[in-house]
Copies of this chain bind each other. A is one copy, B any other.
């Protein structure tokens, strides 16, 4: 099991221990289903890592012996569905009442907004693990809640707001998190 620490500044790193691994796995399995059934081509991007030192124990092998996690410049997932560019970030929270903006980088929100401006379909997938509810929230709504925060308002999106503006995604056996089904209503 690998942990995913995120470097916040050159001198400060926060370790998000195991956060989001289970949900991420479900999304990856869903994307594999979409790919194998020729529904969509959506992949998770590799975790960005800055390599500091590489060691060559033999002619044919290379081993990284020093590296650091770095802040992702975009979102975790992107790809194509029915000719549309798809871009999203997936997060899970143990909070039962709201999803805090602490969980998502500001530049990731700006990236999602930029994608929308260029004609793509962008959103966040948020899983409230203790409520077992997964929502797809389109960027146009995320943007409004982000502006509210930027203007001194609340620093989170409430569960009621997700229930009002988001799309609830039912989990099932296969595909596990069928978020593209929801997109069909949006496109």
A residues with CB within 8 A of B? 2-3, 5, 12-15, 35, 38, 40-41, 43, 45-49, 51, 54, 56, 60-69, 72-74, 78-85, 87, 111, 114-115, 117-120
Q: How many copies does the complex hold?
A: 2
Consensus secondary structure, chain A interface: strand
A117 to B46, CA, bound (A): 24
A66 to B64, CA, bound (A): 6
B68 adjacent to A114 (CB under 8 Å):
no
Q: Which of B51, B79, B118 contacts A2 (CB 8 A)?
A: B51
Measured between beta carbons, the chain B residues less than 8 angstroms from A56 are 15
Contacts A41-B114, A43-B73, A46-B46: A119 and B62 contacting too (C-beta < 8 A)?
A: no
A120 adjacent to B62 (CB under 8 Å):
no
Measured between beta carbons, the chain B residues less than 8 angstroms from A49 are 46-47, 49, 51, 64, 67
Measured between beta carbons, the chain B residues less than 8 angstroms from A120 are 41, 80, 83, 85
